[in-house]
Structure 1
Amino acid sequence: MDTTDPEILFDNNGVCNYCQYLEKILPNYYFTQEQEEKSLLDIRQQIKKDQRGVYDSIIGVSGGVDSSYTVYLAHKMGLNPLCVHFDNGWNSSIAVSNIKKMVEKYGFDLETYVINWAEFRDLQRSFFKAGVIDIEMLTDHAIMATMFDIRKKHGIRYVLSGVNIRTENGMPNSWLWRKQDLVNIRDIQKKFGTMPIKAFPTMSSIRLKLSKLFKLGGVYVEILNKINYSKHDAIRTLQAEFGWEDYGGKHYESTFTKFYQAYILLKKFNVDKRKVHLSALIRNSEISREEALRELEQEPYAPADFKKDKAYVLKKLGFTETEFDQIMNEKPKAHLDYRSDEWLILLWLKMKGKKKMS
């Protein structure tokens, strides 16, 4: 990591604030084999005890490493989850293949939510025009809302999450925005869109907070935080289990996410998320700092792949190359340049006596 993160701090030894914090936290996520086995057994027993319908849990699947390994663990634990895939129109063929092979291997049911493409396309175009950094908050927002509704429809209490601190840590607040800021999404769409938000799945910050407060949103189980999770070990296991295919970088199972992270963030916002992803793997002892630096020296896009993906993204979003390049060359805008529910979140945290976290 470096000062492309405007909030980063280094001590006299050149150690950043993320490492200082994680040196204290990460030891809590290393376990003996007995501790792992007990945690997974306790989780299974509780989930089975509370099962009310056909499915005992629900898992959002993308075809990526973390969600696929969560499905693998659910199978290993003898659970019967409903796998849910959110199709926002940008899936790579590799992601689709991984999901298909996985559910067929384990005999799990798959429910796919297909976004209203015309509306989602208009929303993505609006975020481009608005000049804000977190275009991906649209997908993340809709996934949360969709999972909430599907879980409720099937009467499922437990959500098995692929979130994990060992390979996902140290993301700067300035490199993203809070995903549930529906006020922000609506204001940007009102200013730059051509249609109202109707079919797009939504879940406001207030609804999310109240659902957690009154335990209406189910129980989220971060199952990867209960084991000695390693991305590289997970990939090897998944490849052996059902021929899982690697798609490249972090979250590159989506064509849009690949283009967003490998080009848009770098060119318009001077943000290279590989620095965060690689730093997390260094802290997890999966690669060395020297290996990470060598990887950063490589271009994130092969020229032929970039040309192909750019043409595909522009055509799918309905931008001419001139329009797109003009947007890319405009000065970035902050999410707070538009209406937001940030004041409400800050008030909530003040009442709870907490500081804002991403």
Structure 2
Amino acid sequence: MILNTNLDEAGIQICSRCIYDERVSSISFDDDGVCNYCRQVESLKEQFGTGTALGNEKFSRILDEIRSAGKGKQYDCIIGVSGGTDSSYLVYMAKEWGLRPLAVHYDNTWNSAIATQNIRKVLSAFDVDLHTHVINNKEGDDIFKAFFYAGVPEIEASTDLGYAETMYRAAAKYGVKHVLEGHSFLAEGITPVGKNYFDGEYIRSIHRMYGRVPMQTYPLMTFERFLWRACVARIKMIRPFWYIQYSKEEARAFLEKKCGWEYYGGHHLENRMTAFFHGIYAPQKFGADFRNNSLSALVRKGAMSRKDAWAEYNTPPKIEDELLTYFKKRLGLSDDEYERIMQQPPKSWKDYPTYKKRFERLRPFFALLVKANLVGMSFYLKYCFPAQETK
């Protein structure tokens, strides 16, 4: 829902520090009008020492651990790459830190040409090997179509989880104990779980109900595999940008100059399914616009005013020409069928089997895994506590 672009005339409560508003899942505001998500960012900055001497010291110890664990091996860390800014810059930084990374890519066959070229340019420039898992395109499209039929927001869930599972499988294959991920909570925030949930059981249950093509090449992360990687293989997930100073804008400028990396026009637009989700599906069917994550992050760090961020947030998202036509054609949807599904009442992850209650029951156990870097903090915050979905 697009509101008045004037921040003072929006007609709803908006955080006094960022642009999250009362429609955001599980949001609350303190006496100063600051939302709980801004307070969460403050807490994470303090905990990780982000961009400070403390954060640098903590990350320096992690680097020593990675080098030690990787002695005698071909690679000492895994880095997931998408062709986007963060993962591309992380490849460069890993080489600067003296690491020997293996780049890993999960190809859902919806990559833009720019993203594919960016991966090639970056890895060539910094002399890094690539391990790619390509899902069978008919199988991948069948999973996407199943989620579309299910009427839930997370049409991209299989990509997010497939990426993680592909990185873990590559780590296990090469005996690597550390996976590096290019996420920055300062640059992107942490997406509220209300309309952005995914786990292996969620994917499997929806595919069983609506899918037609057997899952054979999709790297499904089951609960058992998730625990095995953390507790037996003890593969650690590290997010360097949670510790050190990082600027997405400076990273982008560097990559463009250093290796001819090309910007793809907007956050999440490097993949056409992701672009469909953010530009068309989430806003039009669920009234959810995830641009507020990155825009609020820019406001929090003083790179953009609340007024300008709100105005941009309440303008229509950028949509690639013919993207909707491409989506319908790939999934074999007629115009009538597409409209029928889009007009059906929205459903959520709460309407289907998931691991969510299991994650919540095991919260104390996962808290221990977080302290050991065997499970990510964002997973713990989003999945191990009860969440109320904003309708």
TM-score normalized with structure 1 length: 0.91
Q: 1:93 is aligned with what amino acid?
A: A
Query: Closer, same or farther in 2 for the Cα pair 1:55/1:23, shift >3 Å?
Result: closer
Q: Which residue of 1 aligns with 2:97?
A: 77
Structure 2: distance between partners of 1:79 and 1:190: 42
Q: Tell me the secondary structure at the aligned position of residue 111 of structure 1.
A: strand
Deviations 1:173-192 (A, max 9, x none): 21211x33x22222211111
Q: Tell me the secondary structure at the aligned position of residue 207 of structure 1.
A: helix
Q: Which residue of 1 aligns with 2:23?
A: 4
Query: Closer, same or farther in 2 for the Cα pair 1:327/1:63, shift >3 Å?
Result: same
What does 1:73-152 align with in structure 2 at a 5 Å threshold?
A: 73-152=93-172
Q: Which residue of 2 aligns with 1:159?
A: 179
Is 2:356 aligned against 1:337? Answer: no
Among 20, 24, 33, the residue aligned to 1:14: 33
What does 1:150-299 align with in structure 2 at a 5 Å threshold?
A: 150-177=170-197, 179-180=198-199, 182-214=200-232, 216-299=233-316
Deviations 1:190-242 (A, max 9, x none): 1111133222111112321343133x141222111221112112212222221
Deviation, structure 1 residue 105:
0.5
Among 45, 54, 57, the residue aligned to 1:26: 45
Q: Give structure 1 stretches of 5+ with no counterpart.
A: none
Q: 1:18 is aligned with what amino acid?
A: Y
Structure 1: distance between partners of 2:181 and 2:80: 7
Q: Is the 8 A contact 1:148 1:217 kept in 2?
A: no
Structure 2: distance between partners of 1:197 and 1:151: 22
Deviations 1:281-317 (A, max 9, x none): 2112222212212322432135xx34x1111111111
Q: Tell me the secondary structure at the aligned position of residue 382 of structure 2.
A: coil
Q: Percent identity?
A: 34
Q: Which residue of 1 aligns with 2:333?
A: 319
Structure 1: distance between partners of 2:50 and 2:130: 32
Structure 2: distance between partners of 1:82 and 1:152: 12
Q: 2:338 is aligned with what amino acid?
A: F
Q: Give structure 2 stretches of 5+ with no counterpart.
A: 1-19, 369-379, 384-391
Is 2:85 aligned against 1:65? Answer: yes
Structure 2: distance between partners of 1:77 and 1:351: 32
Query: Closer, same or farther in 2 for the Cα pair 1:340/1:46, shift >3 Å?
Result: closer
Structure 1: distance between partners of 2:55 and 2:261: 24
Q: Is the 8 A contact 1:83 1:110 kept in 2?
A: yes
Structure 2: distance between partners of 1:67 and 1:254: 14
Q: Is the 8 A contact 1:230 1:284 kept in 2?
A: no
Query: Closer, same or farther in 2 for the Cα pair 1:61/1:6, shift >3 Å?
Result: closer
Single out whichever of 34-43 and 316-325 deviates more from structure 2.
34-43
Q: Is the 8 A contact 1:62 1:95 kept in 2?
A: yes
Q: 1:186 is aligned with what amino acid?
A: R
Structure 2: distance between partners of 1:339 and 1:38: 42
Structure 1: distance between partners of 2:241 and 2:81: 14
Structure 2: distance between partners of 1:136 and 1:329: 19
RMSD, aligned α-carbons = 2.2
Structure 1: distance between partners of 2:41 and 2:64: 31
Structure 1: distance between partners of 2:113 and 2:49: 34
Deviations 1:235-272 (A, max 9, x none): 12222221221112222110110111111000000001
Deviations 1:111-170 (A, max 9, x none): 221111111111111100000111111111111221111111111222111122211324
Single out whichever of 264-273 and 243-252 deviates more from structure 2.
243-252
Single out whichever of 268-277 and 244-253 deviates more from structure 2.
244-253
Query: Closer, same or farther in 2 for the Cα pair 1:37/1:133, shift >3 Å?
Result: closer
Single out whichever of 339-348 and 248-257 deviates more from structure 2.
339-348
Q: 1:343 is aligned with what amino acid?
A: K
Q: Which residue of 1 aligns with 2:372?
A: none
Matched residues, number: 351
Q: Is the 8 A contact 1:29 1:166 kept in 2?
A: no
Deviation, structure 1 residue 346:
2.3
Q: 1:331 is aligned with what amino acid?
A: P
Single out whichever of 47-56 and 123-132 deviates more from structure 2.
47-56
Query: Closer, same or farther in 2 for the Cα pair 1:10/1:132, shift >3 Å?
Result: same
Single out whichever of 316-325 and 337-346 deviates more from structure 2.
337-346
